[in-house]
Chains A and B, each alone.
Chain A
Amino acid sequence: MHLPDGVLSLPVAAVTSVIGAAGFATGLYHLRDRSRDRTPVLMGMMAAFVFAAQMLNFPVFPGVSGHLMGGVLSAVVLGPWAGACVIASVLCVQALLFADGGLTALGANFVNMGLLGSVVGYAIFAELRRLLGGGIQGTLVGAMLAAWVAVLISAGACALELAWSNPGIAWLPLLGWMLLIHAAIGVGEALITGLILRSILAARPDLIPGACHAVPSSNQIGRFALAGMGLALALALFAAPFAYDAPDGLETVVEKVGIDYSDASEPGSETQEIQPTKAPMPDYQLPIPGLSSMRMATAAAGVVGTLIVCGVAVLLARATAGSHRLPRPSVPIEAGSHGR
Chain B
Amino acid sequence: MGDETQISAERRLDPRWALLGCLGFVVAVILTPLGAWKALGSEALLLAFFVGYLGVNLGSLARRWLGLCPLLVVLAVLLGISHPARAGEHAAGFIAAILARNGVALVAVLALGLVYSAVTLIQTLRRLGCPALVVSTLHFMNRYSHVLVEERNRMLIASRARSFGRKRSLWARWSMLGNLLGALFLRAMERGERVHTAMVSRGWDGTIRSLADSEQTR
Contact = CB atoms under 8 A, between A and B. Distances in A.
Q: Do chains A and B touch in the complex (CB under 8 A)?
A: yes
Interface of A: 4-7, 10, 13, 28, 31, 35-38, 40-49, 51-53, 55-56, 58-59, 68, 77, 85-86, 88-90, 92-93, 95-100, 102-104, 166, 168-170, 174, 191-192, 194-200, 203-204, 207, 261-263, 265, 279, 281, 283-284, 286-288, 329-331, 333, 336
A7 B79 contact: yes
B126 to A, nearest CB: 12
B81 A283 contact: yes
B110 interface: yes
Contact of A89 (B82, B137, B199): B137
Contact of A49 (B71, B75, B148): B148
Nearest to A174: B82
A124 to B, nearest CB: 21
Given A4-B72, A200-B185, A40 B177 contact: no
Interface in B115-155: 118, 121, 125, 131, 133-134, 136-145, 147-149, 152
Given A6-B98, A103-B22, A195-B175, A89 B141 contact: yes
B192 A10 contact: no
A336 to B, nearest CB: 8
Contacts of A28: 131, 133-134
B11 interface: no
Interface residues of B, number: 79
28 contacts: A4-B71, A4-B72, A6-B105, A7-B79, A10-B27, A28-B134, A37-B206, A40-B136, A40-B137, A41-B195, A44-B144, A45-B189, A46-B189, A47-B145, A48-B147, A49-B184, A52-B152, A88-B134, A90-B141, A92-B134, A96-B121, A97-B121, A168-B83, A192-B181, A199-B181, A207-B189, A284-B81, A331-B193
Contact of A85 (B134, B183, B196, B197): B134
A196 B125 CA distance: 32
A166 B81 CA distance: 12
A294 B195 CA distance: 51
B26 A104 contact: yes
B182 A200 contact: yes
Given A35-B133, A199-B186, A330-B190, A45 B181 contact: no
A10 B30 CA distance: 8
Contacts of B56: none
A51 B141 contact: yes
B194 A48 contact: no
B215 interface: no
Given A58-B177, A200-B185, A52 B87 contact: no
